[in-house]
Structure formats: C-alpha cells, structure tokens
C-alpha cells in the first residue's frame, strides 16, 4: 500500500501536535510579532515572541495551515522556549539544514527532529519551514 510511505511523514507525534498544538494563541505582551504567508498555498502563520534580556520567555502562534505546518509550529515553540536568541538562531539553521537533507546538528532541535522525514517530500518542505522562517524574521525585526 503506497500510503504506508506517509508513515515517515505523518509520525504519531506530528499528528498529535497538529491536533493539539502547544502555545497556540496570542501574547498580550510580545516584543516581536510577525505574520508570514506561504504564498503558494495561502497558509498564514502569526507568531508572537516575547524576548527578555536576549532570551525567549514566551511564544505563541496562530493562523491556519496543514498538518505539517501546524505541527512544525507547535514543536518549534516548545523547542525555543527559554532559549537565548543565539541558541534559537542556531536551531533555525539546524532545522533548515535537516529539511534540505543536509548535514545538520539535529540534537539541538528536540521534538522537531522528527520532521526530518519531510525532506523526502519536496513539495512539503515549505510547510515545515514556515514556522522557523517566521521565528527568524520575528527575532531579526526591530
């Protein structure tokens, strides 16, 4: 059955994160916000980040998207919580390398490392990277 090939893409933790996303919503006291769209599919992600003393002390996301983009956003928010901005930027890079099938320090990505399977589905790479791109943009926004 060809659908079993999707098992690698839709691992149970991914389905769980998508069905019950963590840090879903908005922050009242965010310091950095961004809205990012995936123009090819119309998906929208809003990301609110609170940075205190160079550290991510709170984060939340909202918007709409597919299983992969919602799960990726949920796992990203878990992973970067309480990290420094520099640590988070390292994770952005590690995630991007991993998804593109390049050598990557996946250890620092925590749960997000299960999205590695997306690299075998080129059409879905943008879904997985949307949240991390949003984080990078939010952190670099003045």
Partner 1 sequence: MDNKSNPWRKDFPILDQKVNDEDLVYLDNAATTQKPQAVIDAISDFYSNDNANVHRGVHTLAERSTEEFEAAREKIQKFINAESSEEIIYTKGTTDSLNIVARSYGQSNIEAGDEIVISYLEHHSNLVPWQQLAIQKHATLKYIDLTDDGFVDLKDAKKQITDKTKIVSIAHVSNVMGVENPVKEIAKIAHQHGAIMVVDGAQSVPHMPVDVQDLDCDFLAFSGHKMLGPTGIGVLYGKKDLLNAMPPVDFGGEMINFVHLQDTSWTDLPWKFEAGTPNIAGAIVLGKAIDYLNEIGMDKIQSYESELVDYVLPKILAIPDVTVYGPSDPKKHTSVISFNLNGLHPHDLATGLDMEGVAVRAGHHCAQPLMTYLGLSATARASFYLYNTKEDADKLVDAIIATKEFFKDGTI
The answer to whether the beta carbons of residues 108 and 94 sit under 8 Å apart is: yes
Half-sphere exposure of 104 (CA within 13 A, CB side): 23
Q: State the minimum distance, in angstroms, from the CB of residue 126 to partner 1.
A: 10
Q: State the minimum distance, in angstroms, from the CB of residue 91 to partner 1.
A: 24
Binding site for partner 1 (CB under 8 A): 1-3, 5-6, 9-10, 12, 15-16, 18-19, 40-44, 64-68, 70, 121, 123-124, 127
Q: State the minimum distance, in angstroms, from the CB of residue 107 to partner 1.
A: 27
Burial label, 85 (beta-carbon count in 10 A; 0-12, 13-18, 19+): middle
């Amino acid at each position: 059955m060809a659908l079993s090939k999707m098992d690698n893409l839709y691992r149970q933790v991914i389905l769980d994160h998508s069905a019950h996303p963590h840090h879903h919503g908005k922050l009242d006291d965010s310091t950095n916000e961004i809205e990012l769209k995936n123009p090819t599919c119309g998906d929208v992600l809003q990301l609110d980040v609170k940075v205190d003393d160079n550290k991510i002390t709170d984060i939340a996301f909202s918007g709409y998207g597919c299983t992969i983009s919602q799960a990726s956003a949920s796992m990203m928010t878990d992973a970067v919580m309480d990290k420094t901005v520099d640590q988070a930027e390292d994770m952005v890079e590690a995630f991007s390398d991993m998804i593109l099938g390049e050598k990557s320090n996946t250890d620092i990505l925590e749960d997000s490392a299960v999205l590695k399977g997306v690299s075998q589905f080129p059409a879905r790479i943008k879904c997985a990277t949307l949240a991390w791109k949003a984080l990078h943009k939010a952190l670099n926004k003045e």
